[in-house]
A = this chain, B = another copy of it.
C-alpha cells in the first residue's frame, strides 16, 4: 500500500475535512485541528487565511466534482432520459463514495459559510438539482418514467442518495459500483412487486 506525498496544505484540508465531518464545523476548534496534525494552532495560519477558508474550499471543490460528473454522465443526448438518469445517479454515488468525508461536509456544513459564499453555494446546489429535475421531466414527457411531479421526484431521489455518507463506510461488503447499481434499481423500480 503506497501513500502519495501530500503537501502540508493538502494534509490540513484532509484532516479538517475529517474533523468537520465527525464533530461539525462549529464544534471543531483550530487547536483540535492542529493537534490532529501534530502542530500548534497558530502554525496553521502559515498555510491558510482563516478557518472558514477551509470549509469554503471543501464545499466548492465538491460542487465542482458533482457538476463534472453529472455533465459527463448526461452529455450523450442520443440516449433516452431514463438511462441518462441512471448514469447521473451512478455518477452522484461515485462522487459520494470516492470522498465520503468531504461529501458529508458538503451536505451538512455549508450553512456555516458566511455571505456571499453561502448564497453562491445554494445557487450551485439549486442548479445541480435542476439538472435532475429536468432529466426526470424529460423522461416523464417521453413516457419512460412515471413522475407526476418531477420536482418532487428529484428531491426524493437525491434524498436517498445524499443519506449515503451517513452510513457508508469504505471497505464494507458492497463496493461503490454495487451500491450505485442497487440504488439506481431501487429508485427506478421501487420495492413493490408488480406485473
How many chain A residues touch B (CB < 8 A): the figure is: 45
A interface, over-half SS: helix
Specify which chain B residues have a CB less than 8 angstroms from the CB of A24 in the assembled complex.
24, 26, 111-112
Q: How many copies does the complex hold?
A: 2
Assuming the contacts A146-B192, A147-B191, A191-B187, asked whether A155 and B167 have C-beta atoms less than 8 A apart, the reply is yes
Decide if A11 is an interface residue (CB 8 Å cutoff): no
Decide if A79 is an interface residue (CB 8 Å cutoff): no
Which of A136, A143, A186 has most B Cβ within 10 Å? A186
Q: Which of A100-117 contact B (CB under 8 A)?
A: 108, 111-112
Assuming the contacts A155-B167, A160-B160, asked whether A189 and B111 have C-beta atoms less than 8 A apart, the reply is no
Alpha-carbon distance A189/B148, docked complex (angstroms):
13
Residue of B nearest to A188 (CB): B192
Decide if A144 is an interface residue (CB 8 Å cutoff): yes
Decide if A120 is an interface residue (CB 8 Å cutoff): no
Sorted from nearest, which 8 A-B pairs have the closest CB atoms?
A: A190-B190, A159-B163, A26-B27, A26-B26, A188-B192, A189-B190, A160-B160, A159-B160
In addition to A146-B192, A162-B163, A194-B194, 4 A-B residue pairs with Cβ atoms within 8 Å of each other are A24-B26, A146-B190, A157-B160, A159-B163
